[in-house]
Amino acid sequence: MRRGGGPGPRGRKGPVLITGGAGFIGTNLADRLLGEGREVIVFDNLSRRGVDRNAQWLAARHGSRVRIVEGDVRDGAALARVARIAAQVFHFAAQVAVTSSLVDPVEDFEVNARGTLNLLEALRGRSEPAPLVFTSTNKVYGDLDDLELDLADTRYVPVDPAIRAHGVGEDRSLSFCSPYGCSKGTADQYVLDYARTFRMPAAVFRMSCIYGPHQCGTEDQGWVAHFVIRALQDEPVTIYGDGLQVRDVLFVDDLVDAFLLAQSHMDRVSGRAFNMGGGPASTTSLLELLDRIEALHGGRPRFERDAWRAADQRYYVSDTRRFRALTGWQPKTALTTGLMALYQWLLGARPQAVPVAAGTMAS
């Protein structure tokens, strides 16, 4: 089904730049934009396993309307060359794993923080900066260990009735935890400050768990797909902690809707951060997801337990009311439907859809 987007504020024309555009989210956004007749520049270092196939798929599907540029956000000159001709920008390129940030905090900083600053400076150098949507992370709120939680069968439940009803809001204090949280949080704050200080049209999405086709997840990033992949390979899943931790999950098509709405309502959303996920209506614990996969696959995935990992949140659900109020956005895809779409895509993608090593840098 085609979902609308439009050319953006003041009828902007020209190519859309997507950094990390051959990754999971970038591929889905690029496909939507290209299907609506837009031209897209995919800027990606192609370092993560599987993204080269995404780039080839986009090129085969859309031909000359998509331009694949192999480049790294740490290369400010290369980034500036594509940024100066973009009508709109979506910045997804990142080092995505907490574990990798613990091994090499400097590289994590250079990619996430410095790479974002390179892009902001490239846009600031234009007479009219292109509007920017940046994907941050819920990790900017830390491990949320102050949230009081009750136990309810297969999941944690917040004691606070407001958080139970709506999730974690943007008024939550920032509490960067882990080098990854620090680097993404730094980038998050730079984007918001450039919107304020330099009047750059830019908005931030603090992302929860996104899932859907073109996702080849690992236990560090893209865990919904990782669980399904392990089931398809008849390999055990490692659950860190007790498996009762809860996340809100959002199907990638609904996220793409949100991206396009953010661009078309940039006058309303610029300079603001939005928690983005499925919200209270679309949540699952790790153990509950295993039950759902069993219903799809016909067998319950095996799992092993390990200790809690650093900065792991026992409960995180996005309060999306701020973005909904400004744009009218509403997720449309139920978890059952979205999980089936991911499962079917992974079945068709095998053997290519194999897990990448933990800590691999994603564009």
Model pLDDT for residues 129-146, shown as the tens digit of each residue: 999 999 999 999 999 999
Q: Answer yes or no: is 360 within a domain.
A: no
Long-range contacts, 281-285 (Cβ 8 Å, 24+):
281/331, 282/248, 282/249, 282/250, 282/331, 282/334, 282/335, 283/155, 283/246, 283/247, 283/248, 283/249, 283/317, 284/246, 284/247, 284/249, 284/335, 285/154, 285/155, 285/156, 285/243, 285/244, 285/245, 285/246
Per-residue confidence band for 253, with pLDDT thresholds at 50, 70 and 90: very high
Q: Is the pLDDT of residue 158 over 70?
A: yes
The mean pLDDT value for 5-21 works out to: 70
Catalytic residue, chosen from 141, 180, 211, 343, is 180
**Percent of the chain whose predicted confidence (pLDDT) is above 90:** 85
Which distant-in-sequence residues (6+ apart) come within 8 Å of 52 by Cβ? 22, 46
Residue 2 located in a structural domain: no
- Mean of pLDDT values over 141-152: 96
Q: What is the pLDDT of residue 338?
A: 97
Is 126 within a domain? Answer: yes
The answer to whether residue 193 scores a pLDDT higher than 90 is yes
pLDDT at 363 exceeding the cut of 60: no
Answer yes or no: is 6 within a domain: no
| Phi, psi for 324 (deg, rounded to 5) | -60, -45
1-5, 134-138, 216-220, 344-348 — which is least confidently predicted? 1-5
pTM of the model: 0.92
Say how many Å lie between the first and final Cα of the chain, rounded: 27
Confidence of residue 350 (pLDDT cuts 50, 70, 90): low
* pLDDT for position 2: 38
Instruction: State yes or no: pLDDT of 203 exceeds 80.
Output: yes
pLDDT tens, position by position, 294-347: 999 998 889 999 999 877 899 999 999 999 999 999 999 999 999 999 999 999
pLDDT of residue 362 exceeding 80, the answer is no
Would you call the peptide bond into 158 cis, given omega within 30 degrees of 0 as the criterion?
no
pLDDT at position 5, please? Answer: 42
pLDDT at 254 over 60: yes
Residue 354 included in any domain: no
Q: Name residue 220's amino acid.
A: D
The total of structural domains in the chain comes to: 1
- Whether 351 has a pLDDT exceeding 60, the answer reads no
Is residue 9 predicted with pLDDT exceeding 70?
no
pLDDT of amino acid 356: 38
3-state helix, strand, coil in the chain (%, to 5): 45, 20, 40
pLDDT tier at 361, thresholds 50, 70, 90: very low
pLDDT in tens, 54-103: 999 999 999 999 999 999 999 999 999 999 999 999 999 999 888 889 99
Which CATH number goes with the domain that contains 297?
Answer: 3.40.50.720
Tell me what pLDDT residue 299 has. Answer: 87
Asked if residue 349 has pLDDT above 80, the reply is no
State the chain's mean pLDDT as an integer.
92
- Among 82, 91, 69, smallest CA distance to 126 is for 82
Residue 253 domain flag:
yes
**Confidence at residue 50, expressed as pLDDT on a 0 to 100 scale:** 81
The pLDDT value given to residue 57: 96
Please report whether residue 358 resides in a domain.
no
Given this model, what pLDDT does residue 352 score?
52
180 assigned to active site = yes
* pLDDT, position 310: 78
> Is residue 56 in some structural domain?
yes
Which parts of the chain fold into alpha helices (H)? 24-35, 51-62, 76-83, 98-103, 105-109, 115-124, 161-166, 178-197, 223-232, 252-264, 266-269, 286-297, 321-327, 335-349
Domain carrying residue 84: 14-349
Q: What is the pLDDT of residue 3?
A: 52
Q: What is the pLDDT of residues 257-304, one digit of tens each?
A: 999 999 999 999 999 999 999 999 999 999 999 999 999 999 888 999
The predicted structure's pLDDT at residue 265: 98
